[in-house]
Amino acid sequence: MTETAPAPYADLKPEVILDAVDACGQRTDGRLLALSSYENRVYQVGLEDGGMQVVKFYRPGRWTDEAIREEHAFALELAAREIPVVAPLVFDGATLHRHAGFRYAVYPRRGGRTPELSDPDTLLQLGRFIGRMHAVGEIARYRHRHTLDVQTFGRAPHEYVMAGGFVPDDLREAYRTVVADVLERIERVVRRAKAPTLIRVHGDCHAGNILWTDDGPHFVDLDDTCMAPAVQDVWLALSGDRAAMSAQLCDFMEGYRQFRDFDRAELQWIEVLRTLRLIHYAGWLARRWTDPAFPVNFPFFNTQRYWQDHILELREQAAALDEPPLELM
């Protein structure tokens, strides 16, 4: 994943967005609504027949065409098996299109609400659908997308942050030290633990990427799909203290194991993955800081308070990495 050029979407004007959808054989009516998205740009577009579609413009330079097509192929594979994923629409045999220098895909519009992840029945249903997704995900491997590992999600973003001068001078040594500490603890887990099986996963399966309806969930935004342990799509559904997460995990797995076995040994990777996500998030904000949308929408980043809180959070994670894994009945 490359760094962002300044104002990567400066030329993405309303007429370009509408023309891109029209170029796929659609007939837009001028209605246009920007949806919440920072990595890419996503818009709801009105059609002359009264319908709505969603168009996603990929961030220039982030993914190769091959990597995007793998994402689309996985989504279509899931949809073909009636797993509720919002997959891109196919026009003239293609899902990835180009217009005015931008790469984009068009999706059907789907509504829904944020799931109540504290509800046992919701976790049961969610477990069923993610179990089905993973049963498909293990059939084949990605060739062009990344693997979730310590280098990609730990060392590389940390090195970028340090080299870019984002951390205040009086906190640089504390930040360097705490990251070195948690990465060493992670390496100890890697050395002693059974290597997990890597499969194609959603990769960013938090509540914001799950739209819930009366019929259950459907999943959106596979932009971060990658090769990773199955537990990557599990731990983001868990919250609260250790007892609460253990109870939630049991509800989730009751549904999951109806469709796919789960290796309990993967539970020891939860805090590893949580720690890597924290480090990666800081690196992601740093890499995107030249995009004008980021200082506006993430004003807390790159402040003294942000780095103080981030260091404290990583120190807490250092302790969590030494705790035994969650229990699964």
Quick one: which of 60, 35, 38 has its CA closest to 295?
38
**Integer Cα distance of 103 and 65 in angstroms:** 9
Quick one: which of 57, 52, 66 has its CA closest to 98?
57
pLDDT over threshold 90, residue 147: yes
Q: 268-304, pLDDT tens digit by residue?
A: 999 999 999 999 999 999 999 999 999 999 999 999 9
- The answer to whether 288 and 294 are in contact (CB under 8 A) is yes
Q: 237-269, pLDDT tens digit by residue?
A: 999 999 999 999 999 999 999 999 999 999 999
pLDDT over threshold 80, residue 5: no
**Integer Cα distance of 261 and 123 in angstroms:** 17
Quick one: which of 155, 206, 149, 208 has its CA closest to 180?
155
Computed on alpha carbons and rounded to an integer, the radius of gyration of the chain in Å comes to 20
- pTM, to two decimals: 0.94
Helix H or strand E segment including 78: helix 65-80
The CB density around residue 36, as the number of other CB atoms within 10 Å, is: 7
Q: What are phi and psi of 24, to 5 degrees?
A: -90, 10
**Integer Cα distance of 236 and 247 in angstroms:** 14
| Farthest-apart Cα atoms in the chain, separation | 60
Residues of the chain with pLDDT > 90, as a percent, come to 94
Q: Which of 22, 215, 221, 263 is catalytic?
A: 221
**pLDDT at position 216, please?**
87
- The answer to whether 123 and 108 are in contact (CB under 8 A) is no
The reply to whether 221 belongs to the active site is yes
Helix H or strand E segment including 20: helix 14-22
Structure tokens at 117: 């992840």
Tokens 């994670």 sit on residue? 317
pLDDT over threshold 80, residue 232: yes
- Identify the structural domains of the chain with CATH numbers, from first to last: 14-108 (3.30.200.70), 120-321 (1.10.510.10)
pLDDT over threshold 60, residue 193: yes
Q: What is the DSSP string of 52-111?
A: EEEEEEPPTTTS-HHHHHHHHHHHHHHHHTT--B-PPP-BTTBS-EEETTEEEEEEE---
* 50 contacts: CB under 8 Å, gap ≥ 6: none
Residue 1: which pLDDT band, with cuts at 50, 70 and 90? low
The reply to whether 204 belongs to the active site is yes
Q: Which of 65, 204, 214, 223 is catalytic?
A: 204
Quick one: which of 271, 268, 249 has its CA closest to 117?
249
Residues in the chain: 329
**Integer Cα distance of 32 and 45 in angstroms:** 5
Per-residue pLDDT, averaged over 107-118, amounts to 93
The 8-class DSSP code of residue 40 comes to S
Quick one: which of 273, 264, 262 has its CA closest to 325?
264
Mean pLDDT of the chain: 95
